[in-house]
Amino acid sequence: MKTRHLAWLLLAATGMVQADSSSGAPLQGTWDVVRVAVDPADQPRWTWRPDDPRLLGRELVIAADALRLDGDSARCVAPRWTQQPGTWAALLRDSFPRPPAPGRAAAPRPADLGLAVGIADPLQLQRPTCNADAGGRIVAPWDATWLVQTGPDRLLLRHGQALLHLARRSANAAPRASFSCAAAASASEKTLCGSVALAAWDRSVAQAWREARQRRGDDLARLQTEQRAWLQQRNACAADAACLHDRMQERVDALAQE
């Protein structure tokens, strides 16, 4: 095994690791973001917050013909996968470098990003290469993306300056909204409770609303007025799942800017 691992390292060092369209097969399925980790020592450059409601609960769909993260308009078409061995030390150094500062490490430790691994532990990196989409455009946002499977049902995804922790969705997963689905009465509530992904967006709206109230408690009356108006818009979607999805994503984005 040591000889084989050394061979992989030599291939990676010389740029000879080959893309293998079948290497992503164990990752295929639907995954849910269960944690959003960002470097606590690099807050000035944050584009996402810890457990950011814009990302928490989102579904990642990995299929042979596409790679898609809900909430992100970029869709990786016909991904080809490259496997690359490495260590956590090198991965964190290359993926999450910190601006130089006195007395501060140049990169986060695994624990800083919620990882229970050793800094020198080996890993197997999966990098997708996307083909052009139907319009002939290459999906650039996926270029810097990598995935690491840390267990049969656990996955890590680099998403810009955030590290997303994902869990594989079970076949019998039940939707969990921010309210009791047993008490769902309106068409919109029943539709939310019929979809794992939509129910997760509902939880994100509730989380973003709580966080906005904490940040802008001095402007609570305005926030409440806007939230009531938004609820009317959401309920007007009735059983239209696409409409509900769009209204909830818009609301989470708006609340995140408060």
Is the predicted pLDDT of residue 4 greater than 80, yes or no?
no
Q: What is the pLDDT of residue 135?
A: 64
Residue spans of the domains in the chain: they are: 2-168, 181-256
Give 164-174 pLDDT, tens digit per residue.
Answer: 999 999 999 99
Arithmetic mean of pLDDT over the chain: 88
Q: What is the pLDDT of residue 255?
A: 96
pLDDT confidence tier of residue 148, bands split at 50, 70 and 90: very high
Give 42-70 pLDDT, tens digit per residue.
Answer: 999 999 999 999 999 999 999 998 899 99
Contact indicator for 92, 110 with CB cutoff of 8 Å: yes
CA angle in degrees (0–180, nearest 5) for 214-71-254: 35
Give 9-46 pLDDT, tens digit per residue.
Answer: 333 333 334 445 445 788 999 999 999 999 999 999 99
Bridge-based pairing state of the strands 59-62 and 147-151: unpaired
| pLDDT > 90 in the chain, percent | 75
- Helix, strand, coil content of the chain in percent (nearest 5): 40, 25, 40
| Distance, CA of 55 to CA of 71 (rounded, Å) | 8
Q: What is the pLDDT of residue 1?
A: 36
| Distance, CA of 54 to CA of 75 (rounded, Å) | 17
pLDDT confidence tier of residue 77, bands split at 50, 70 and 90: confident
